[in-house]
Amino acid sequence: MAGNKRIMKELAEVRTNPPPGCTVTLADENDMGTWDAVMDGPPDSPYTGGHYKIQITLPKEYPFKPPQLSFKTKIYHPNVSNDDRGAMCLGMLRPDEWKPPNKIADVLRLVRSVLAAPQPDDAVEQGIADQFKNDRKSFDKVAKEWVGRYAK
Amino acid sequence: MDRTNQQQPPRQRDMVYCHQCENEWYRDEHGLTCPECQSDFTEIIEAEHDPRDDHLPDLEPPDHDRGEYYGTPDPDEGDIDGLRWQQTGPGQVRGTFNRTYQFGGGQGDQQQGQQGQQGGGLGGIFGGMLGSLVQGAMNNVAQRQQQPGQAQPGQEQRPQSPEGGPGGRAASAPDTARAGTTVRHYHGPLGHMTIATSSNVGGNLHPRDANAPQPFQVQPNYIDQIMQQMVMNIGPGGPHGMGGGQGGLVFADGGMGGGQNPFAAGPFGNVFSMLNGMTGMGGDAVFSQEEMDRVITRMMEENQTGHAPGPASEAAIRALPTRPIEAKDLADNGKAECTICMDEVLIGNSVTVLPCSHWFHDDCITAWLSEHDTCPHCRQGIMPKDETSSNSARQPSQAPLNDMSNPAQVPGSFPGAAPDRQETSGSRQQPESPSLHRRASSTSSAGRQASSGGRQGSSRGGMFKGMRDAFGGSRNNNNNGEGGSGGGPGAAGS
């Protein structure tokens, strides 16, 4: 399957030249479809110092269908669902927005930029988004607390 | 949860009650922590000690013959005529009542599959529910009618031992008597029930015999009213206080399906199980938030194209020109790759060019365009206007009419572009003959169809087959001569 070949290429690329702050491994060396990425919290964000495990699931139709992201480390962020799915809503990953030329590395770069700059208007956690918009101080405080509690 | 779970007798299973959110579940399924609110302020429900405010009936079946529910107040008791319980044998109870309602059809299939696990009580209550819903919905006058038991003409008779058959399946045999009166009989292993109904409707509503072939009948308009009414009726203040006045979807709290349903232990358990079975998994009616989420998620996944364009037509895809890669296509590092498969392309390799002049491997772009009529880079569609508008009415699943920014590049305008096409993936087994080269004319596509269908069939899996099948019909309708079932080329993935 062409997808597999591409995945191998992408993996090799991402391992030799990983996006900033990311390391990528396969969850299971025999399964190209599940990637484990560890992303460092971007500097100048409340998440700095945290290490976030993100599972990336590539559908068998990849790259024709978008990969799926799941934060395995809890993070206090308007765009990451605060549940065991840890879903992050990225426009790029929406099925009608996804384009095959997008690469996982691009996705990881985007994830990191969203960590650095939350998008409260496109939130999955409305409460957190409201806090982010209206009470940035408290938001930063809780986010930092969560880093210490979950993401060390 | 599969449906067999629902049929398990619930009584051996521990039920756990959550003091926090009043949820109830089976211990062997969710343990002692509330699956709903994660609280651990929970308690195993015991017969002697039931933490719930409103006791559900004991899990043990009533040991007296008439059933525990005999004589309990029914909110709609006034509507029930002639409810009579008769002991017909050891462990057998027959409940009989008569109803009149305006509704004649469509019920037979729902009533089937009812199991008489609870003896007469179940049948009676099921009937009561059914009856009251119909009654409530129709607001009609009850009509007393004496039931002659199993002696109705035309009734489907089942051999019955005192214990009933192992299957215990109820037989429903509507019997149309004069003046639109329908008598239905239910036989479970332990219970019998007869419902006599009178239909006041003339015209197009007739009792439906679920066991025999019959002409198509229009579904009554008020079936949703009926369902609504049913939920209302079983909601507030049922005989056992279930629902506690919340009204409406009383079984919403319990999670869906099978053994999870706490009410499965109660007299309505089987009814709920049956309802769940009818409407739950795979259906489109749901009674819990969780289930609702699941259905919505599924629908979003199934319709995830949103307002994105649908697939491009096979003809339009085939009409795309190809060309060899030239030195100017290479990036600064002297390399070029197909951005879909990330394979390197070398000078001289053939690629398919979209109207926006982005190029890809033929197989790669075909697989993509068969799902989305957009350029993977710039999202411009490839479908020419005349492709769709010249044919009959457009179908909802059909690709939108995308404007071509360059009208010169309509299909067919590249007669010379194709002959030097090369195999890019090596997966094709049947090279195209020159006569089969890309042309927009749909009239000449029949022969090509066979050829392309063949090659695709052998080289590509059925990755998007379902989707393709779904789209296949309409696409074929709209592209005359595009023959081939949904399994045609194009849509296959890689």
Strand extents, DSSP E, B203-361: 322-324, 336-337, 344-345, 350-353, 359-360
Residue A22 known to be catalytic: no
- Would you call A101 and B493 a contact, using CB atoms and an 8 Å cutoff? no
Residues for chain B: how many in total?
Answer: 494
Average pLDDT over residues B5-19: 65
**Residue of B399, B360, B397 whose CA lies nearest to B378:** B360
Same-domain pairing of B233 and B340: no
B7 found inside a domain: no
What residues form DSSP beta bridges with B195? Answer: B97, B184
Average pLDDT over residues B406-415: 42
| The predicted structure's pLDDT at residue B390 | 40
User: For residue B27, what pLDDT band results from cuts at 50, 70 and 90?
Assistant: confident
Q: Where are the alpha helices (DSSP H) in B16-172?
A: 27-30, 108-111, 120-138
> Which residue segments constitute the domains of chain A, with CATH numbers given?
2-150 (3.10.110.10)
- Would you call A64 and B377 a contact, using CB atoms and an 8 Å cutoff? no
Same-domain pairing of B85 and B233: yes
**Residue of B384, B376, B398 whose CA lies nearest to B317:** B384
Q: Of residues B395 and A102, which shows the higher confidence score?
A: A102
Q: Average the pLDDT over each of B43-52, B160-169, B356-365 and give the range with the smallest value.
A: B160-169
Range of the domain at B222: 77-300
What residues form DSSP beta bridges with B44? Answer: B16
Q: CB contacts < 8 Å between A and B, how many?
A: 56
Residue keyed to tokens 């429903």? B172
HSE value, Cβ hemisphere, 13 Å, CA-based, for B60: 6
Helix or strand (DSSP H, E) at B477: helix B465-478
For the stretch B430-486, pLDDT in tens is: 444 433 344 333 333 343 444 443 344 334 444 455 455 555 444 444 444 333 333
* Residue A80 DSSP label: B
Q: Is A84 on the interface with B (CB under 8 A)?
A: no
Same-domain pairing of B93 and B230: yes
Same-domain pairing of B235 and B117: yes
Percentage of chain B exceeding pLDDT 70: 26
Q: Which is the catalytic residue, given A11, A26, A38, A89?
A: A89
Q: Both tokens of residue A5?
A: 């070949």
For the stretch B173-206, pLDDT in tens is: 444 334 455 566 655 555 555 555 554 444 444 5
What are the angstrom distances between the C-alpha of B10 and each of A60, B258, B275, B278, B427? 41, 10, 17, 19, 56
- Would you call A5 and B343 a contact, using CB atoms and an 8 Å cutoff? yes
- Would you call B376 and A2 a contact, using CB atoms and an 8 Å cutoff? no
Question: Which residues in chain A are contacts of B493 at CB distance < 8 A?
Answer: 61, 64
Same-domain pairing of B115 and B252: yes
B102 found inside a domain: yes
What are the angstrom distances between the C-alpha of B460 and each of A98, B5, B13, B246, B397? 22, 40, 50, 55, 23
Q: B170 CA to chain A: closest CA distance, Å?
A: 44
Q: Both tokens of residue A132?
A: 């982010």
Q: Is A100 on the interface with B (CB under 8 A)?
A: yes
Q: B467 CA to chain A: closest CA distance, Å?
A: 13
- Would you call B308 and A96 a contact, using CB atoms and an 8 Å cutoff? yes
Same-domain pairing of B381 and B470: yes
Same-domain pairing of B197 and B290: yes
- Tell me: cis bond preceding B162? Omega within 30 of 0 counts: no
User: For residue A40, what pLDDT band results from cuts at 50, 70 and 90?
Assistant: very high
Same-domain pairing of B365 and B445: yes
Q: A118 CA to chain B: closest CA distance, Å?
A: 24
Q: A16 CA to chain B: closest CA distance, Å?
A: 16
Same-domain pairing of B186 and B283: yes
- Would you call B341 and A6 a contact, using CB atoms and an 8 Å cutoff? yes
Between A2, A94, A101, which is nearest B376 by CB? A101
Report whether B192 contacts B123 (CB < 8 A).
yes
* φ, ψ dihedrals at B441, nearest 5°: -60, 120
Whole-angstrom distance, CA of residue B274 vs CA of residue A78? 41
For the stretch B66-80, pLDDT in tens is: 555 655 555 555 555
What are the angstrom distances between the C-alpha of A131 and each of A45, A140, A150, B384, B442? 16, 9, 20, 49, 59
B46 found inside a domain: no
B202 found inside a domain: yes
User: For residue B149, what pLDDT band results from cuts at 50, 70 and 90?
Assistant: very low
What residues form DSSP beta bridges with B359? Answer: B353
The yes-or-no verdict on residue A107 having pLDDT over 90 is: yes
**Residue of B259, B203, B338 whose CA lies nearest to B2:** B259
Looking at mean pLDDT, say which of A41-55, B40-54, B84-98, B139-153 comes out highest.
A41-55
Whole-angstrom distance, CA of residue B469 vs CA of residue B467? 5
Question: Which residues in chain B are contacts of A103 at CB distance < 8 A?
Answer: 342
> Looking at chain A, which residue has its C-alpha nearest residue B369?
A64
Residue keyed to tokens 């405010």? B53
- Would you call A61 and B464 a contact, using CB atoms and an 8 Å cutoff? yes
- Number of structural domains (chain B) is 2
> Looking at chain B, which residue has its C-alpha nearest residue A97?
B308
Q: Is A12 on the interface with B (CB under 8 A)?
A: no
B408 found inside a domain: yes
Contacts for B486 with CB less than 8 Å, ≥ 6 apart:
B465, B468, B469, B470, B471, B472, B473
For the stretch B309-358, pLDDT in tens is: 778 888 888 889 999 988 888 888 888 889 888 888 888 889 999 989 89
B391 found inside a domain: yes
Q: Where are the alpha helices (DSSP H) in A17-103?
A: none
**Residue of B3, B7, B24 whose CA lies nearest to B251:** B24
Whole-angstrom distance, CA of residue B61 vs CA of residue B208? 34
Q: Both tokens of residue B47?
A: 């017969």
Domain edge (last residue) among B300, B332, B355 = B300
Mutate to test the interface with A, among B303, B335, B340, B344 (most CBs of A within 10 A): B340
| The predicted structure's pLDDT at residue A71 | 94
Q: Is A15 on the interface with B (CB under 8 A)?
A: no
Q: Both tokens of residue B264?
A: 């499965």
Domain edge (last residue) among B276, B300, B324 = B300
Question: Which residues in chain B are contacts of A60 at CB distance < 8 A?
Answer: 463
The yes-or-no verdict on residue A48 having pLDDT over 80 is: yes
* Residue B301 DSSP label: H
Contacts for B30 with CB less than 8 Å, ≥ 6 apart:
B16, B260
Whole-angstrom distance, CA of residue B8 vs CA of residue B22? 24
